[in-house]
């Protein structure tokens, strides 16, 4: 830091979700390619993502961000369907 203060960047919930989605996608791809082993079955990964999205959904609903909540709800339903088809 050389005596300089680092500027604090505040991210929105949407920006954090985008980054989280990218990280999860990258980890899943690396595991599928056999480059890493997360010790998680696909079902566990989906359940973890559903839990994360459910928390985010609650936050958006509390903040009355209904458009964002509807998008998250759609993602949850998609993952639930994917889970049923495993």
pLDDT given for residue 40 in this prediction: 66
pLDDT given for residue 70 in this prediction: 96
User: pLDDT (tens digit, 9 = 90+) per residue, 21-59?
Assistant: 888 888 888 877 777 766 667 888 888 899 999 999 999
CB 37 within 8 A of CB 5: no
Q: What is the C-alpha to C-alpha distance for residues 74 and 72, in angstroms, rounded to an integer?
A: 5
Is residue 44 classed exposed, middle or buried when 0-12, 13-18 and 19+ CB atoms within 10 A define those classes?
Answer: exposed
Where along the chain do its domains lie?
39-86
Range with lowest mean pLDDT among 2-6, 40-44, 49-53, 68-72: 2-6
Mean of the per-residue pLDDT values for the chain?
82
pLDDT at residue 5 greater than cutoff 60? no
pLDDT higher at 62 or 20 = 62
3-state secondary structure of 28: helix
45 Cβ contact list (under 8 Å, min separation 6): 24, 28, 38
């Amino acid at each position: 830091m050389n005596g300089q203060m680092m500027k604090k960047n505040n991210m929105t919930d949407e920006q954090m979700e985008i980054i989280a989605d990218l990280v999860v996608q990258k980890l899943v791809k690396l595991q599928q390619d056999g480059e890493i082993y997360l010790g998680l079955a696909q079902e566990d990964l989906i359940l973890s993502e559903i839990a994360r999205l459910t928390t985010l959904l609650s936050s958006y609903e509390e903040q009355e961000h209904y458009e964002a909540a509807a998008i998250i709800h759609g993602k949850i339903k998609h993952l639930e369907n994917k889970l049923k088809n495993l």
